[in-house]
Structure 1
């Protein structure tokens, strides 16, 4: 059958019109990306959003395995040398070619003091340009998880950063208004169109992307909606297509709605409590002249006053896995029951510990808590306050958005706080070095917001970080966990599950690192 040109054009126009509607993904969660600077804030939603724009040399597939990214191949030439061949013909969003100069620049930028991934970048050694498409990494010591560390450094354009005076990461804690906070220039599948913090972030598909996109999303519109009920109403009405963090209490009702789908699974993320153990007097406490958290008996009392099963069943609706190990996944503890074992919930033992430590009447202290970062974060803190009241620890709850919360912690402006830790890496090294170690240079101990000093633990971790023998390293890792747990430097809660909720016509890949990859999303009619 013959068609006139006008008929053909009309059909094409109607088809494109339908695709344009279907190819916009509108999604939401309670929080908002912190910044578009990919090194400034090491926070999950921020990292996941930036990953649509920026890429790694080595990427991860749908099951978190390593696959080629901006590097097509790599090899290890001895224990202290890695060589990477870079992908030809890749361009940044502004049209500039991607070369080895950008890799060397990016690693060095990630080592700056304002970078929150310096602890990872420092494990990469010294990058060296061999030619435009070859980079060599020379290590000072063996790094048993070199590729994991490499998969934390987004590649930025050296020329673009220099042009916009952005050769150092944004100083987020001190509210620096850097160009990179609102603008971006990567090699990734999506380009930043606009950025309005706490209002809306819009991306569009990169027409010159080097790779293959399995999905059909042309435009991405992210809108943070803090209130749970409002966010769920937006999903049910179709105002948004996808919600990253549906409240656990709403899951059963959502499952009854045929227009909604729920996909869930455990996340590589552990939620825990930290305490200021560095100061001689707490900033926010009724105790004057001394710091009760310097006493391990007080720390243990708080731990044993937590009824973790009640939190799991009543608050999290079963969407949590209690643990005694501060590491994102049980794979990181080698599923060792001795490491994973929690101290028992024992109110009488906790009360005795408080009395033995000299605080039979307890004390008052402020608990800092985010209210839009982890699942049920503020409600968990409220529950902890009621549980700790039973041992006469009166909590003043100070809940706030993560945009205010994390800069506060970075300044160590806290006495008692909640933190979560996780991502694609299950090896404990990327938990040990930033969280367990004494605070030092190049990101070491950066997230030790309690500022405790444990020289023995610090030395053990430093040794495990460069141990190349997997059998010896496994034994060292277990000893580190048991030493840390005995000192109660942190109080573990649980590993959270991540249910995702979407309209029935949205297809996506649910990953354990809680990253929604737009290149794999298809929005149907």
Structure 2
């Protein structure tokens, strides 16, 4: 299935196509959680990269129908089936006034692909880069797959001189606590510039009047305000203390819809939410790891009632799934989108057979990552307890829990994946399901390893025929499903809500904010 053919422009929701207001405007954006870092290479987080795309840009980007279009590169071609040649946009300035040239692209690609880079998994086909002249670069790739262009939509360009002058040529790493100048400072080419940042309080962007692209917004100041409490976030919108909120609590959508001054935009996200397992030899306390026995993983899945979670916790707005990827992601197979009804008795029998009755473990959850995660974690823990497990929930904000997960210091955990930037199953397969090795398995937090799956992923990377690649991806996804490397729960709902001042906003199923399209009314 081609994502270009299936993801229609309808995914981009516009509240109004009225004329752009002439005066400059401030937009106050209430968000469920703060960003992790101002360094786009510091963590492979969609929300972090989406925010930073207001400041930084890549060589290419997606248009409103998710097709590749020029950004800092004006054209590109595959040469001799070995490398991509990019012609760069001339006349572009960084926020500090420096000229954009090929040197910046070379430094930025090398930084993102550095062995220490948490973002290196976003460019598994990359092999090297060289400058040809001031406005031409060539990038070596391991295969001629056009997925490389999708990959680099998330590879943002820094000013090489700025990196060197500030001793930040190496990427930072949020999970490892490694910071650098780019953690708290920026210098991009994008539509907005950083004015100030107070972590967990407010980050302020101001318009870049020197942006090279045509302006479709009238926002001169964007105030990003993390509001972790759902009730407080709703109250801020209802009282007009903020102009819009992401992650509008689904239990409050009817209340918001009843207010004539508020508009609700709801979609099913491309993101799939999973429960996954630590697959190391032992658990954190040194006990033998019961989840290395597939019967225990099967018992775990048999205990989970996806439909009940959707009805009771997700208000019927999620899409319960047996598939590891959403239907609109290339590589989706309806044959893999199946799951059995919950069966606690079956779970108990499997645990007994495995000699793991009363299996105790810690279930690490976050209260500000996936939609209603705190509630569905408690629901799943209750289901597991009834089936004979003995879970203990470790709940906390993602700023605390995400480093634990990244370091493998978890036993059972949640993870969600939207298959960005490729919008193809190769993203999940190469970054999450593959064995951790170089650019592969960067987000394999459980430490699992299935050589047969790895072989298929590498074959898919080398395939030049899209149909062949998709067939290989389906085989690999079947192995992951049969092995229960992770248990898909659902594709989650997303909801944004705006006040009366917001005239136009672009919200798509990838749940990325793009405020260079936001228009505030008079």
TM-score (norm 2): 0.93
Moved more, 240-249 or 79-88: 79-88
DSSP 3-state at the match of 2:479: helix
In 2, Cα distance between equivalents of 1:88 and 1:201:
30
Partner residue, 1:301: 299
Instruction: Note the C-alpha offset of 1:391.
Output: 1.2
DSSP 3-state at the match of 2:123: helix
- Aligned pair partner of 2:334 in 332, 337, 341: 337
- Aligned pair partner of 1:512 in 492, 504, 509: 509
C-alpha offsets along residues 314-344 of structure 1, whole Å, 9 cap, x if unaligned?
11112211111222x2233644221111243
CA contact (8 A) 1:437 1:454 kept: yes
State whether structure 2 residue 373 is matched by structure 1 residue 377.
yes
Q: Using a 3 Å threshold, how does the CA distance of structure 1 residues 335 and 452 change in structure 2: closer, same or farther?
A: closer
Q: Which runs of 5+ in 2 are unaligned?
A: 1-20
Instruction: Note the C-alpha offset of 1:353.
Output: 1.1
Partner residue, 2:497: 501
C-alpha offsets along residues 221-278 of structure 1, whole Å, 9 cap, x if unaligned?
0110111000000000000001010111110111000111001112110100110112
Partner residue, 2:317: 319
C-alpha offsets along residues 271-324 of structure 1, whole Å, 9 cap, x if unaligned?
00110112x22115xxx6421100011111111111111111111112211111
What RMSD over aligned residues (CA atoms) do the two structures have, in Å?
Answer: 1.6
Q: Using a 3 Å threshold, how does the CA distance of structure 1 residues 223 and 289 change in structure 2: closer, same or farther?
A: closer
Partner residue, 2:17: none
Instruction: Note the C-alpha offset of 1:468.
Output: 1.0
DSSP 3-state at the match of 2:322: coil
C-alpha offsets along residues 195-220 of structure 1, whole Å, 9 cap, x if unaligned?
11111100000011111121110000
State whether structure 2 residue 226 is matched by structure 1 residue 224.
yes
Instruction: Note the C-alpha offset of 1:108.
Output: 0.5
In 2, Cα distance between equivalents of 1:187 and 1:18:
24
For 1:8-157, list aligned pairs within 5 A: 19-20=23-24, 23-157=25-159
For 1:54-453, list aligned pairs within 5 A: 54-278=56-280, 280-283=281-284, 289-327=287-325, 329-332=326-329, 334-359=331-356, 361-422=357-418, 423-442=420-439, 444-453=440-449
C-alpha offsets along residues 434-490 of structure 1, whole Å, 9 cap, x if unaligned?
101111113x11211110121111111111111112222222111111111000011
DSSP 3-state at the match of 1:218: strand
In 2, Cα distance between equivalents of 1:114 and 1:310:
42
DSSP 3-state at the match of 2:23: helix
In 2, Cα distance between equivalents of 1:389 and 1:416:
14
In 1, Cα distance between equivalents of 2:100 and 2:41:
19
DSSP 3-state at the match of 1:478: helix
Moved more, 392-401 or 141-150: 141-150
Instruction: Note the C-alpha offset of 1:381.
Output: 0.7
C-alpha offsets along residues 60-109 of structure 1, whole Å, 9 cap, x if unaligned?
11222211100111112232221111111001001110011111111110
Instruction: Note the C-alpha offset of 1:117.
Output: 1.6
Moved more, 334-343 or 206-215: 334-343
Instruction: Note the C-alpha offset of 1:505.
Output: 2.7
CA contact (8 A) 2:49 2:154 kept: no
Partner residue, 2:5: none
In 2, Cα distance between equivalents of 1:84 and 1:519:
25
CA contact (8 A) 2:331 2:473 kept: no
TM-score (norm 1): 0.92
In 2, Cα distance between equivalents of 1:282 and 1:484:
22
In 2, Cα distance between equivalents of 1:455 and 1:219:
50
CA contact (8 A) 1:84 1:134 kept: yes
DSSP 3-state at the match of 1:198: coil
State whether structure 2 residue 465 is matched by structure 1 residue 469.
yes
Structure 1 runs (4+) deviating above 6 angstroms are: none
CA contact (8 A) 1:109 1:167 kept: yes
In 1, Cα distance between equivalents of 2:428 and 2:491:
14
CA contact (8 A) 1:144 1:465 kept: no
In 2, Cα distance between equivalents of 1:176 and 1:474:
37
Report which of the two structures shows the higher radius of gyration computed on alpha carbons.
1
C-alpha offsets along residues 114-151 of structure 1, whole Å, 9 cap, x if unaligned?
32220223413321111111111122333341111121
CA contact (8 A) 1:59 1:151 kept: yes
In 1, Cα distance between equivalents of 2:464 and 2:447:
29
CA contact (8 A) 1:433 1:461 kept: yes
In 1, Cα distance between equivalents of 2:135 and 2:98:
15
In 1, Cα distance between equivalents of 2:227 and 2:457:
40
